[in-house]
Amino acid sequence: MKRVLITGAAGFLGSHLCDRFIKEGYHVIGMDNLITGDLKNIEHLFKLEHFEFYHHDVSKFVHVPGHLDYILHFASPASPIDYLKIPIQTLKVGSLGTHNLLGLAKAKNARMLIASTSEVYGDPTVHPQTEDYWGNVNPVGPRGVYDEAKRFQEAMTMAYHTFHGLETRIIRIFNTYGPRMRLNDGRVLPTFIGQALRGEDLTAFGDGTQTRSFCYVDDLVEGIYRLLLSDYAYPVNIGNPDEITIREFAEEILKLTGANQQVIFKPLPVDDPKQRRPDITKAKELLGWEPKVSRAEGLKRTYEYFRSLSERDLRPKDFDHYNK
């Protein structure tokens, strides 16, 4: 039986990856320090023979007994709210954590896939964003701790590939949504739905003309799985190119939830990207991948998940949100 280590296993994406690899017949080893993850996302797996979990910070030395075939590095804060609150940990998991796991992959002769991000493009001057675009990133701005951690992560991974001959894969993830997102994590989709469910006005930033492209989590997981098993070592965009403005997106949420609130606008945060849309030509050609779930269907599934949460989970936290 093939064995896979998934870091960030108790997070939104990590937990869905655990489900997918269990379904595909792998022995899954989950690892998470639970700084933003939640064991509720994977508690249904604890009873399974071929799932095990390590409560561990990958920024420290990482040891996993036995052989490993694959490592998927998804341990990192992913919301602006999180990485503004814990900037040092964000930098460490992208640098020290990546270095530790690359060393583990080398020792185990395992293939390693890292979760990079569309944030490496910064506030892009090229639209849509292709993998050969180098980005427009402010390294000392408030978002720099996340953007530069991911850019370093890519560079370190490619160095292990070219110098040590390690099998590596790099995925650049665009905005993704679905069940198990933290309702109060500060990203725009759960924030809008949470505000609608609580009967609050929806808060957007700027004039609402910034664009985002939202990919449903099942589509993303399929893209990750295909990339892992491919023979391509350079970055690949995985996301949905169906672009929408934040203002239009807020109106979709109000219509979906049947809420009577309005959309109010606040000043645009520093370095907030004005446009975000992936060019997925490479994913189509190399992986035969493109998103299948429409935004209407994906939002319906996600809304049903959030609506099932308890009243306590719906309470707002003491922070605002970012249009990520």
Annotated catalytic sites, by residue?
A: 146
Please, are residues 115 and 73 in contact by the beta-carbon 8 Å criterion? yes
Using the 8-state DSSP alphabet, how is residue 200 labeled?
A: P
Which DSSP string do the residues of 257-320 spell out, in sequence order?
A: HT----EEEEPPPTT--S---B--HHHHHHH-----S-HHHHHHHHHHHHHTS-TTTTS--SS-
> Which amino acid, residue 191?
T
CA-based angle 226:223:28, to the nearest 5? Answer: 70
Please, are residues 228 and 72 in contact by the beta-carbon 8 Å criterion? yes
d(CA 12, CA 40): 11
Task: Determine how many CB atoms are found less than 10 A away from the CB of residue 44.
Answer: 13
Please, are residues 112 and 68 in contact by the beta-carbon 8 Å criterion? no
Which DSSP string do the residues of 3-52 spell out, in sequence order?
A: EEEEETTTSHHHHHHHHHHHHTT-EEEEEE--SS--GGGTGGGTT-TTEE
